[in-house]
Amino acid sequence: MKKQIDLQQFPAGNLPARILMGPGPSMVDPRVYQAMAAPLVGHLDPEFVHLMDRTQELLRYTFRTENKLTIPVSGTGSAAMEASIANSVEPGTPVLICINGYFGERLADMAKRYGGDVSTIHRPWGEVFTPSEIEQALREKPAKVVAIVHAETSTGAEQPLDEIAKIVHNHGAILIVDAVTSLGGVPLSVDEIGIDICYSGTQKCISAPPGLGPITFNERALNLMQSRKAPVTSWYLDMSLVQAYWGPNRTYHHTAPITMNYALYEALRIIAEEGIENRWARHRANSEMFWEGLEDLNLKCFIPKEHRLTSLCTIQIPEGVDDAAVRKSLLEDYNIEISGGLGSLKGKIWRVGLMGYTSRKENILLLLAALKKILYK
């Protein structure tokens, strides 16, 4: 046992003020930091209950949905991903997962863990699916749950969602969409598209710290939940229990992360003030500026323009360039974080997030200038 401890080995945090341009966490508006300095109240305090109600309303605005069950899961985006699977999949449920990157693979892993009878279709990392590929897969093997990633954080590709929901519904399934790297930055309208379960994280285009996972379920998804034979294995992520806390009854389930909810509420207020369509347009305009700057540096984007995310840009690392050395110089000499590739793309691409409060012209100009200095000094 640590009977004694040398206090000098545990100095105050003193974290550096980084320019965060990786795939998340993105930078946070100073207003959000200020909101987190508000004193804690109890998780059933009448004032916190008001804040919960308002947060749900602002999340509906951001998701573009009227869904009653629209709340932040008390965990990160990965917890929200798991909540989407845990509540819709039980042992034997036929599931179709579309995999064209790291997070599709994770969805398949989770669906198997929850006992799903999992089929997968694949596109090479960086490509996207056509509606007919999904239709064909459902014809070959029916499913009750189909999951696809809107914004693949591992590749930078944006999956077009038109027509997919209709196909999925015609085959009697529900559609889960991963919007971790798109919600609040990339055009996404849950109700218009017909998404049944959609989830995200707070640390990407919403620009709050990581720690909550916004999620929304429509009636079709709730009906599937109600027809379950077995209770949800995860008690913590069982939405029927979570819903009872966030709904009018306020039935105690767990102690919500109060401070993170202060942060999310303020971040959502900022989104509403900017206006969601304006925010989407800002992300596009700034990314286009970045893409042009990359061209000037003879750097190529990994994803063709038509499927390129406006929240996350992946750059092909030129031959002969040392991936790690460039990122190290960016961090140590210029205080800028970008990220390398995951899995098979490791060493082949850089990932640059232009999300939320990070998506500002001054950050883009600086990163381009720093890359120029490092690559062509």
Backbone angles phi, psi at 55, to 5 degrees: -65, -45
Residue 22 interacts with its own copies (CB under 8 A): yes or no = yes
Residue with Cβ nearer its own copies (74 or 159)? 74
Residue 42 interacts with its own copies (CB under 8 A): yes or no = yes
Q: 308 by DSSP, 3-state: which? A: strand
Stretch that binds its own copies, among 16-24, 123-131, 280-288, 311-319 (CB under 8 A): 16-24
CB of 114 to its own copies, least distance (A): 6
Backbone angles phi, psi at 60, to 5 degrees: -60, -45
Which 43-102 positions form the footprint of its own copies (CB under 8 A)?
43, 45, 47-48, 51, 54, 57-58, 60-61, 64-66, 74-79, 82, 86
Q: 193 by DSSP, 3-state: which? A: helix
Residue 334 interacts with its own copies (CB under 8 A): yes or no = no
Out of 114, 125, 129, 350, the residue judged to bind its own copies by CB under 8 A: 114
Residue 262 interacts with its own copies (CB under 8 A): yes or no = yes
Out of 259, 281, 289, 323, the residue judged to bind its own copies by CB under 8 A: 259
Out of 141, 272, 285, 304, the residue judged to bind its own copies by CB under 8 A: 272
Backbone angles phi, psi at 145, to 5 degrees: -135, 130
Residue 345 interacts with its own copies (CB under 8 A): yes or no = no
HEC-encoded secondary structure of 129-192: CCHHHHHHHHHHCCCCEEEEECEECCCCEECCCCCHHHHHHHCCCEEEEECCCCCCCCCCCHHH
Out of 68, 113, 171, 250, the residue judged to bind its own copies by CB under 8 A: 113
Out of 97, 105, 106, 222, the residue judged to bind its own copies by CB under 8 A: 106
Out of 69, 96, 97, 110, the residue judged to bind its own copies by CB under 8 A: 110
Q: Quick one: tokens of 255?
A: 């102690």
CA distances from 52 to 71, 72, 200, 309 (A): 9, 9, 18, 31
The residue written with tokens 């800002």 in the block is: 282
Residue 185 interacts with its own copies (CB under 8 A): yes or no = no
What does the per-residue mask of binding to its own copies show for 138-177, with x meaning CB under 8 A? ----------------------------------------
CB of 233 to its own copies, least distance (A): 5
Out of 49, 171, 228, 236, the residue judged to bind its own copies by CB under 8 A: 236
Residue 184 interacts with its own copies (CB under 8 A): yes or no = no
Residue 132 interacts with its own copies (CB under 8 A): yes or no = no
CA distance 116 to 109: 10
CA distance 173 to 143: 6
Q: 276 by DSSP, 3-state: which? A: helix
Q: Report whether the peptide linkage leading into residue 25 is cis, meaning its omega lies within 30 degrees of zero.
A: yes
Residue 95 CB-density burial (10 A; 0-12 exposed, 13-18 middle, 19+ buried) = buried
Residue with Cβ nearer its own copies (131 or 257)? 257
Residues in binding contact with its own copies, number by CB under 8 A: 90
